[in-house]
Structure 1
Amino acid sequence: MKKAAVIVPVVSLEDEPYLILTRRSRKLKSHPGQISFPGGIRENGEELLETALREMEEEIGVSRDNVLFVHSLKMTETLMSRIEVHPFLALLNKREFVLNRNEVEVIIFVKLSLFQQTKEEVILLPSGEETIRYRFPGLVVWGATARIIAGSIDEILKKLSESGYINII
C-alpha cells in the first residue's frame, strides 16, 4: 500500500488557532479541486515526516524553519485510492505563503473552534463505504481530510495548549 504524509498546519491569528487548508488545483489528476492539507506520496523511502515537510514547502512555500513544533497524529486511509495517510500537526510561527499554483489554487484559514462546534455528517460513497464531511458556508471538507480533523481535534487542542505557544480557552 502506498504511503503519504500531510502537515496539519496551525497558525495563531488574534490569539486563536486556525487550521490551514488548501484547495487542490483542478488540473491535478488525483483529487482535483478538493480541500486538503499540504502533503503527498512518500518518495524513495524517505521518512514520513520528511515527506510532509517537503510537501508543505513545495505546495505552500512554508519552510521547516517556520515550524515551532511537530506532533504525529492518527493515520487514516483514503477510501478511493487506498493510500495510507500519516498526518503531522505543525504549529507555524509565520504567516508567509508562496503557493505553487500547479498544485494549490488557494489556502483557506478556518478557526479550529469551528470544527468543535460543527457536527460532522456521515456520507455514503458510491462504493457503499461511509466517510464524513464538515459543511460551512462556501466550504465542504470531506473524506480523509475531515476524518483526520475529526479523529485528532482533541489531541490537536491538547498539544497546542501544552506547547505554551497558544492559549486554548
Structure 2
Amino acid sequence: MRDPLRLVSKALERASTASSDYDLNPDTKLPPDRKLRPAGVLVPILFEGEGAQLFLTKRSSALRHHPGQIAFPGGKQDDTDKDVIAAALREAHEEIGLDPGNVEVLGMMPAHETVTGFMVTPVVARVRAPFEVRPEPGEVDEVFEVPLMHLLDRAQFSVQARRWRGSWRKYYTVPFGPYYIWGATARILRVMADAAEAR
C-alpha cells in the first residue's frame, strides 16, 4: 500500500514548473504584458488510516464564470488577505465551511495561469479532523470527496479538446463517477500526479 502523505510530500518537493490553461496548446500566443490577478485555491486532503480523500466543489450553475464546473475551494486574493495562503483559507471557510484552525498547510504547488486572467497558487493542506461540510449558498452546489490515489494515478487522466473562441483547445480531464473534472483543476492535479511519480 502506497503512503498518500508521502506521495503528497514528494509532489510538493519535486513540482517546480508552473502550468497554465494554455500549455497543451503551444500555438496560443499570449500578450507578454498581460496583467494576472493573484488567487489561491485550497487542496484540502483528509488523511484517514492508509487512505486519503480530497475535497472538491461543484460550482453553482447560476455563476457568471465557470458555472457548474468542478473546482477547488478558493478565489482571488483580496486586499485584506495577507497572501494567497490566507485567500485560500478564507475562501475554503466561506465555500465549504472548513475552519482554518482545522487545517495544516503542507506547502504550495507551482502557480497556474487561467484563461480568465488569474495566477492561481494551489495551497496543499491536511484537514486535521472530519468536519461538517457547508456549501456556500449561491456559490457552491455541492461538495464531494475523491480518493486521493485516484487523482494521483496518471492512468486516470486523458487529454480532450473542445472549441473555444474559434479554435480547438486541448485540456486534461480526470473523471470520477458522475463528476467531470477538467480544465485548471485537472491540470493542477496532473502536476501533482506527475511530481508524485517523479523518480
TM-score using structure 1 length:
0.84
Residue 27 of structure 1: CA displacement?
A: 1.5
Could you tell me which residue of structure 1 aligns to residue 5 of structure 2?
Answer: none
Root-mean-square deviation (CA, aligned residues, Å) is 2.0
1:36 matches 2:77: no
CA contact 1:7–1:37 (8 Å) conserved in 2:
yes
Q: How far apart in 1 are the matches of 2:179 and 2:127?
A: 23
**Bigger radius of gyration among the two:** 2
Correspondence 1:48-67 to 2 at 5 A: 48-67=84-103
| Counterpart-to-counterpart distance in 1, 2:144 and 2:196 | 18
Equivalent pair of 1:5/1:42 in contact (CA under 8 Å): yes
Q: Measure, in 2, the Cα distance between the counterparts of 1:149 and 1:142.
A: 10
1:76 to 112, 127, 132: 112
Measured at CA, do residues 114 and 133 of structure 1 come closer, stay the same or move farther in structure 2, by a change above 3 Å? same
> Deviations 1:61-93 (Å, cap 9, x if unpaired)?
1111001333111111123x1321110001001
- Could you say if the C-alpha distance between residues 52 and 23 of structure 1 is closer, same or farther in structure 2, counting changes exceeding 3 Å? same
CA offsets per residue over residues 20-76 of structure 1, 9 Å max, x none? Answer: 111011111111111000000111173111110110111011111001333111111
Residues 38, 76 of structure 1: alpha-carbon distance in 2 compared, 3 angstrom cutoff: same
Partner of 1:126: 163
The one-letter code of the counterpart of 2:117 is: R
Tell me which moved more, 87-96 or 122-131: 122-131
* Offset at residue 156 of structure 1 (A): 6.6
Moved over 4 A (4+): 154-158
Residue 147 of structure 2 corresponds to 111
Q: Which residue among 54, 60, 75 is the counterpart of 1:19? A: 54
Farther-moved stretch of structure 1 (69-78 vs 147-156) = 147-156
* 1:145 to partner: Cα distance: 0.3
Matched ranges for 1:84-163 at <5 A: 84-96=119-131, 97-117=133-153, 118-127=155-164, 128-153=168-193
Asked if the contact 2:76–2:87 (Cα under 8 Å) also holds between the matched residues in 1, the reply is yes
Looking at structure 1, the residues matched to 38 and 169 of structure 2 have their Cα atoms a distance apart, in angstroms, of: 21
Displacement, 1:104?
Answer: 1.0
Q: Which moved more, 1:106-115 or 1:9-18?
A: 9-18
Q: Is the 8 A contact 1:2 1:41 kept in 2?
A: yes
State the distance in 2 between where 1:52 and 1:102 align: 19
Q: 1:65 to 1:108 in 2, by over 3 A?
A: same
Q: Structure 1 residues 101, 34: closer, same or farther in 2, change over 3 A?
A: same
Residues 69 and 44 of structure 1, relative CA distance in 2, 3 Å threshold = closer
Identity percentage over the alignment?
31
Comparing both structures, which one devotes a greater share of its residues to strand?
Answer: 1
